[in-house]
Structure 1
Amino acid sequence: MKFSFRLAELLNHSPDPKKRPGTIKAICDFTGLDRHQVSSLLKNEAKYIPLSALAQVCDFLIKHGYAEANQLPGALFAVEPENFWELLARRKRVEMCLGIRADENWAEGAWVVASDTILQGQLLTGISTLGGTAKYRQQDMPRDMVSLSGDGYMMRDTPIPQPEDLFQTLVWAPGQAEDEEVHRRGHEVYSSFQAVDGDKALISLGSIRSNPVIELGLASAFNTEPFISQDEVEDPSQRAIPIYLRHREKNAQFPGSCCGGDQLSKSYAPETPGFYYEKEDGSWGCCKWDETTYEPAYLIYVYHESQGRLEMMLGGYSGRGTRLLAKTLSSRPEEFWPPVYTGNGTQIGAYVIQYELKKQKKARSVLVADYSATTKIIPIDPKAIQRRLTI
């Protein structure tokens, strides 16, 4: 069983240097602890904490109204997830964000794409059942305990982790309203999520072409500006994000994006549509798309351990890829764990998936979700992630 130190969560402390209103100094002045030790505690990087230091931190929290005495020190510790579904299920608040499209001829005015609802359904199933394993967690075990992991146990009556609150938010897909309105609504949803105190997750479904909150999440994770094209960088290595979406129609009127466009750089304009990803050696691979055989998808999550804050972005290149991704989450969730990068109190899982569809005897109905395809899951190299992060 693994634990994280949640001082940052109790203080609602952001890792962004621009949003730290003297938190470290205030703790140091009150407790007498040195700045390096307090910084490590806030980042969940401390290897150990003396009981005397723990007591001083508890006194600070009580004195300044961040916690009640009877909550401490327990409120400072949380059990960490040990698999992909537990990462989601252990969040107290889970919010799912979907892009919507408009129809002027329909009285209700907008709808959610069918493939996104299939993916959402699989996520809800996985979270509520731990990917179908919850029913086995307390069966066929000694009466006084059940196995939790290879080196830890929990009591039989320990509840299966479940979110306490589940929310859904809707945003305009790009092109379904004026850019200003699309961006405004996206910022509104993303800012509201960030402002909520406590352990939480934001799951954004789709791609940058269907959900602007995905753009905001990726820009935040890699410290770059959203909705601004990076197609004109001198070299692909200068792109802020190691995943890039190449549009199907070159020079089509797609909104500016920090992680998508027509070309990787001024000198590199690949023709094949799909998801591109940077490799360890700096070259770029491609999970390609075409109308008949190939379909890509992606899944990225950023987990701030000390805050209990998770942001996840996932979807297919097209609706077909989104449906295939839903099947992959059901059958192979273990391949999205553990995270590919861990450092500075943050865990990042980043994957692209290449599907090669098997030949079908006849065209599939839009109501059928069981496409058959060979599946290759490609983790993004941790070095490609690390060299982009501002430490």
Structure 2
Amino acid sequence: MRYAFRLAELLGHTPDRRKRPGTIKAIVEHTGLDRHQVASLLKNEAKYIPLDALSRLCDYLIDQGHATADQLPGALFAVNAENFWEQLARRSDIEIVVGVRQGEGNNSPENAMVVASDSVLVGELLNGISTLGGVAKHIGEGPESNATTSVPMPDRIQQSLVWSPGQVTLEDARARATEVFEGFTEAQGDRGMVCIGSVKSNPAVELLFSDAFGCTPFVTEDDVDDVSARSCPFFLRYRDSDPKPGAASAGMRLSKNMDAPEPGFYYEKDDGTWEYAGGQGKDTALVFYLFHEALGRLDMVLSGFSGRATRLLAKTLAIRGEEFWPPVYHEAGVQVGAFLVQYDDAESKPSRDDLLYNTGGAAKIMPLSREAIARRMARR
């Protein structure tokens, strides 16, 4: 069992100095602790903490009204997850963000809709969180279990809707997505956001990727001089017929001098070269998550390139969720999971029954390059 130190979470501290100025200085002045030690504790990087330092921090939290005496020191510690579904279930608040499209008729809520494939994925997400991927019923069984064993569960799960590109003006779609995403990032406490879909249908996905990799959202990088300058270690190439909102994580070319000839996902390898994840008779989906241990904050994207890939991803999460763990990158209190899932095309022609029964398909789960992610994290 691994523990995380929650000082930053209790203080509502983020690494952005513009948002939380003076946190380290205030703690140092009140407690007399070393500045570097405080910085390390805020980042959940400290290997140990002396009891004297722990006592001083508890006094500071009580004096400043961040916690009460009966909550400490326990409130400073949290259990880190040990599998994919537990990572979600241990969040106190989960916000699921889904793109909405406007149906035919007048612009009213009665004509707005969520795509059926996204709904299938949301349903499986809720099932996985509430049952830990089906293993919750076994917790507490066995000779080593005890009566205090409990199943982690969020206190609240909510859904937020954003406009899909092409349904309203780009400005309105981005404004709504920004409102939702900033509300999440500026909140305090243990929380998680799960964005369903790709940038084609959910602009909050672009905000999440931009925040994760430190780039400007909604600004294309198709014109970078070299593909190594791309901010994201993966890239979604639009279909020619798709809406093409400006995005750092998607577009039509990998760079000025490198084409992306086929629609679908591309990804960077260890050596810095890029590869296409699709191919003849292939479809793909993306699972991405970033967890800030010190903040207790989880950002996640579940995205199929097509409706079929989205439905198949729901099935894969249901039966093979454990294969999206461990994270491919874990440094300085930050965990990043990034996986592409490749599916073979169906042998028969698509039909409505595919949606109703979602029979599944052979899936190849591919962890993305740790080195490619580390390169991005180093230059944030």
Scaled by the length of structure 2, what TM-score is found?
Answer: 0.96
1:188-208: per-residue Cα shift (whole Å, max 9, x none)? 000111122100000000000
Which residue number corresponds to residue 191 of structure 1? 182
Which residue number corresponds to residue 80 of structure 1? 80
Shift in Å, 1:138: 1.6
Which residue number corresponds to residue 12 of structure 1? 12
With over 3 angstroms needed to count, the CA separation of the structure-2 counterparts of 1:362 and 1:262, relative to structure 1, is: closer
1:249 maps onto 2:249 in alignment: no
Which residue number corresponds to residue 123 of structure 1? 125
Which residue of the other structure, out of 185, 193, 196, is the alignment partner of 1:205?
196
1:43 maps onto 2:25 in alignment: no
Which residue number corresponds to residue 230 of structure 1? 221
Which residue number corresponds to residue 67 of structure 1? 67
Shift in Å, 1:367: 3.2
1:346-371: per-residue Cα shift (whole Å, max 9, x none)? 10001111111341277453533424
Which residue number corresponds to residue 378 of structure 1? 366
Q: Distance in 2 between matches of 1:68 and 1:20?
A: 22
Q: Distance in 1 between matches of 2:354 and 2:174?
A: 30
Report the 3-state secondary structure (helix = DSSP H, G, I; strand = E; otherwise coil) of the residue aligned with 1:383: helix
1:269 maps onto 2:271 in alignment: no
Which residue number corresponds to residue 169 of structure 1? 160
Aligned length: 377
Share of identical aligned residues, percent? 51
Q: Is the CA contact (8 Å cut-off) linking 1:277 and 1:284 kept in structure 2? A: yes
Which residue number corresponds to residue 333 of structure 2? 345
Which residue number corresponds to residue 137 of structure 1? 139
With over 3 angstroms needed to count, the CA separation of the structure-2 counterparts of 1:253 and 1:93, relative to structure 1, is: closer
Q: Is the CA contact (8 Å cut-off) linking 1:358 and 1:372 kept in structure 2? A: no
Shift in Å, 1:109: 2.6
Which residue of the other structure, out of 290, 294, 299, is the alignment partner of 1:306?
294
Query: Structure 2: which amino acid aligns with 1:275?
Result: F
Which residue number corresponds to residue 277 of structure 2? 287
1:330 maps onto 2:318 in alignment: yes
Q: Distance in 1 between matches of 2:213 and 2:362?
A: 31
1:137-167: per-residue Cα shift (whole Å, max 9, x none)? 122x23xx41xxxxxxxx3233210000111
Query: Structure 2: which amino acid aligns with 1:379?
Result: P
With over 3 angstroms needed to count, the CA separation of the structure-2 counterparts of 1:165 and 1:371, relative to structure 1, is: same
CA RMSD, 1 decimal: 1.6
Which residue number corresponds to residue 97 of structure 1? 97
Shift in Å, 1:228: 0.2
Query: Structure 2: which amino acid aligns with 1:126?
Result: G
Report the 3-state secondary structure (helix = DSSP H, G, I; strand = E; otherwise coil) of the residue aligned with 2:261: coil
Report the 3-state secondary structure (helix = DSSP H, G, I; strand = E; otherwise coil) of the residue aligned with 2:209: helix
Shift in Å, 1:379: 0.9
Which residue number corresponds to residue 53 of structure 2? 53
Range 14-23 or range 334-343, more displaced:
14-23
Q: Is the CA contact (8 Å cut-off) linking 2:28 and 2:35 kept in structure 1? A: yes
Q: Distance in 2 between matches of 1:102 and 1:362?
A: 24
Shift in Å, 1:272: 1.1
Q: Distance in 2 between matches of 1:371 and 1:315?
A: 19
Which residue number corresponds to residue 150 of structure 1? none
1:34-55: per-residue Cα shift (whole Å, max 9, x none)? 1110011001110000000000
Which residue number corresponds to residue 367 of structure 1? 355
With over 3 angstroms needed to count, the CA separation of the structure-2 counterparts of 1:261 and 1:220, relative to structure 1, is: same
Report the 3-state secondary structure (helix = DSSP H, G, I; strand = E; otherwise coil) of the residue aligned with 1:217: helix
1:63-96: per-residue Cα shift (whole Å, max 9, x none)? 1111111110000001110000000000000110
Q: Is the CA contact (8 Å cut-off) linking 2:315 and 2:360 kept in structure 1? A: no
Q: Which runs of 5+ in 2 are unaligned?
A: none
Report the 3-state secondary structure (helix = DSSP H, G, I; strand = E; otherwise coil) of the residue aligned with 2:52: helix
Q: Distance in 2 between matches of 1:246 and 1:200?
A: 31
Report the 3-state secondary structure (helix = DSSP H, G, I; strand = E; otherwise coil) of the residue aligned with 1:233: coil
Which residue number corresponds to residue 151 of structure 1? none
Q: Is the CA contact (8 Å cut-off) linking 1:12 and 1:197 kept in structure 2? A: yes
Which residue number corresponds to residue 158 of structure 1? 149
Range 115-124 or range 366-375, more displaced:
366-375
1:388 maps onto 2:376 in alignment: yes
1:283-338: per-residue Cα shift (whole Å, max 9, x none)? 11112267xx3211001001000110001011100111100100110111111101
Q: Is the CA contact (8 Å cut-off) linking 2:117 and 2:355 kept in structure 1? A: no
1:182 maps onto 2:173 in alignment: yes
Range 352-361 or range 366-375, more displaced:
366-375
With over 3 angstroms needed to count, the CA separation of the structure-2 counterparts of 1:209 and 1:62, relative to structure 1, is: same
Which residue of the other structure, out of 239, 254, 257, is the alignment partner of 2:230?
239
With over 3 angstroms needed to count, the CA separation of the structure-2 counterparts of 1:289 and 1:365, relative to structure 1, is: farther
Q: Distance in 2 between matches of 1:125 and 1:316?
A: 19
